[in-house]
Amino acid sequence: MSSGYPIFDADAHVIEPEGMWAAYLAQESDAYAARAPVAPGGGIWVCVDGTWLPALWSDEVAARLRPFVMEATRPAADGPYGAAAARQFDVVSHVQAMDCEGIERCVVYPTQGLYVTAIEGIDPGFATALCRAYNRWVADFCAGSGGRVVAAAMVSLHDVDTAVAEARHAVGTLGLRAVQVRPNRHGGRNLGDAAYEPLWAAIAELGVPLAVHEGTGARLPVTGADRFLGSVMLQHVTSHPMEMMCAVASLICGGVLERHPTLRVAFLEAGASWLPYWLWRLDEHVAWLGRGEAPELRHRPSEYFRRQCFASIDCDEAPLAHAIGAMGDDCFVFASDYPHPDAKYPNAVAAFMQLPGISTESRRKILRANATRLYGL
C-alpha cells in the first residue's frame, strides 16, 4: 500500500561490510588497525578485542545460544534481504530497497557501530578512533546515493573532549546530519550528567539533532540484562523502551533541555506508545519533588518533550493512535529499521498505512514533515 507522497525514513541502518573497520582504522594508526573489530561475513555480530557483541551476558547462555542467534540474524540468500546481502548491503542495494518501499530519503545509523564502543573500560583513544573510522566510511557510503541517504555520526561518551571534536568534524567536514549516542550509563554517568554539557552545547551549536539509539547487548549497564540473563527475548523486549525512558528522564529532569533550548533530541528504535504515560509520570513527580531535585526546570517535562523532542515509531505499532490522541502528532517520526532482522521490509510502509485510527494529516506528518523538522533537511 503506497502513501501517495514522498517518505522520509528517520531511522534506517547500514551493515558495515567485512574488512571496513581494518581499512578505515589503518588511516588512524597501525596499532588500532591491528585491533580492528571483526564481523565474519558482515552482519550484526562483531568481536572487539576478543569480546563478542551483542553481549548475551551469561557465559553459559552465550555458549549455548550464540551460534543460533548469529545464524538467525544473518541475512539469508532466500530471504527478503538476499540481493542486498549478496552486495554486502552497499549503497546501491540500499537505494533499491528505498525504492521498493517508496522511501525518498533516509538517515542511516550504524549496526556494528552501535556496539564497538559500548564496552565499559574500553581504551578511550581506541573508542574515538572507532568513531572516526565509522564516520569517514559512512560519509563515503552516503556519497554514492545521490543525496538520498544521509547519516548520523558516532561519538564516544568515554571521552567528552574528543566526542566534541569528532562531532564538529563529522558535521562540519564530513556533512553528517545528526550525532548519535547510546542511552546507557558510561562510567556511571547518565546522559544528564554535567560532564556531558560541552557535547550537548556543541551539538546544539552545530544545528543537528542529538540522536539517542539503543541496541540490546552492550557491555555497559543495560536495563533487563541484569535480571534476564538466560533470555535474549526478554533482554531485547525490556532494554529498548526502558533505557529510552531513563534517557528521557535524565536529559529533561537533568536540565539539559532547559539549558539548551535549541537542541533537538530524537529517541530511536524504542517505539513511542509508552510516552504519554511516562511523560505524565515525570510531570507528576516534578510537581511533587522537583523543587528540591530539579529546581532548574521552568516547564513540565512533557512541555520540554513537545518543544524539542521526537520519537520514532515502529511501523506496525498498534497503540500509536492512543499516543497521538494523548500527545498530538508533531513529535513522532517513521522508521523502517532496514535491514535489521526484526524490520518489516519490504512491507514497512504498508504496515504503517494499515494502522487503525490515524488521520491522513497525521500520517503525512509522521511519514515526512516531522522528520524534516527533526533533521533540518
Phi, psi of 354 (to 5 degrees): -90, -5
229 CB neighbour count, 10 Å cutoff: 15
The string of pLDDT tens digits covering residues 260-296 is 999 999 999 999 999 999 999 999 999 999 999 999 9
pLDDT by residue (tens digit) across 119-130? 999 999 999 999
Q: Cis bond leading into 301, ω under 30°? A: no
Q: Please report the domains of the chain, with CATH numbers, ordered by start residue.
A: 8-14+89-375 (3.20.20.140)
Higher pLDDT, residue 366 or 40: 366
| pLDDT above 70 (res 57) | no
DSSP symbols for 117-146 = T-BTT--HHHHHHHHHHHHHHHHHHHHTTT
CA distance 308 to 331: 9
How far is it, in rounded angstroms, from Cα 49 to Cα 80? 32
Q: What share of the chain is helix, strand, coil (3-state, %, to 5)?
A: 45, 15, 40
Structure confidence at residue 142 as a pLDDT band (50, 70, 90): very high
Give the count of beta carbons closer than 10 Å to the beta carbon of residue 120. 14
Helix ranges (DSSP H) in 105-231: 124-143, 160-172, 197-206
Average pLDDT over residues 299-315: 98
Average pLDDT over residues 137-156: 98
Residue 1 has pLDDT above 50, yes or no: no
Q: Give dist(CA 223, CA 50) in Å, integer.
A: 24
- Give the pTM: 0.96
Cell digits of residue 48 = 572487539
SS3 47: strand
Three cell numbers written together for 239: 532494554
The pLDDT value given to residue 67: 74
The CA distance from 170 to 164, in Å, is: 10
Kindly report the average pLDDT of the chain as a whole number: 94
pLDDT tens, position by position, 193-239: 999 999 999 999 999 999 999 998 899 999 998 888 878 889 889 99
Phi, psi of 26, deg, nearest 5: -60, -25
- Give the burial class of 242: count Cβ atoms within 10 A of its Cβ; 0-12 exposed, 13-18 middle, 19 or more buried: middle
